Each structure stands twice: as C-alpha cells, then as structure tokens.
Amino acid sequence: SGTTMTALAAHPRVPVLATGSHAQFIRILTLDGVVLNWIRYHDGFLGQRIGPVSCLAFHPNKPLLAAGATDSIISIYTNSE
C-alpha cells in the first residue's frame, strides 16, 4: 500500500504475522503474505480505536495481540470467533 511498516510480530505457535504502521492500521497475515484481517483507525464511542502503531506483540498461548501506539495507548485485540 506504499505505507512504511513500523512494527512486526510473529506468533510463536500459530503461523501468522502482524504488521503495523504509523498510518494507523494493523494487518494480520499468513506466513505466505495473505492478508487475513485489517485493524484500522476509526473514531468510536470511547474515542480513537488505534493510533500510529509503534510496537506489536502476540500472547505466547492465547489468540491475543497487543499493540502500542505513539500516543501512549496500548490496545489488546483478539479473534472475534
């Protein structure tokens, strides 16, 4: 998409990657690069849902992804299934 990647995380048990950008989005991909999901910036009831992504980390056993942003907010995401 022409946007610089600013964070990368690989899940230790599941073959997926997460990439983040200061353009306020996270992509979840297979190891082959197929995009499984996007997490994008949007305004919501409680305010901003994702800021410029500076770091990502998967939980070692659970389907959880932590995302740190340059606005000092940490968000936790999980699979909705």
pLDDT at 72: 87
Per-block average pLDDT, block size 10, for the chain (81 residues)? Answer: 84 94 93 93 66 94 92 85 59
CB proximity list for 64: less than 8 A, separation 6 or greater? 58, 76, 77, 78
Structure tokens at 81: 């299934």
pLDDT of residue 60: 94
| The pLDDT of residue 58 | 97
| DSSP single-letter state for residue 62 | S
- Distance in angstroms (rounded) separating the CA atoms of residues 50 and 61: 24
Query: For residue 56, what are the contacts with CB-CB under 8 A and spacing of at least 6?
Result: 7, 8, 9, 18, 19, 20, 26, 65, 66, 67, 68
How high is the pLDDT of residue 41? Answer: 74
Predicted local confidence at residue 2, as pLDDT: 54
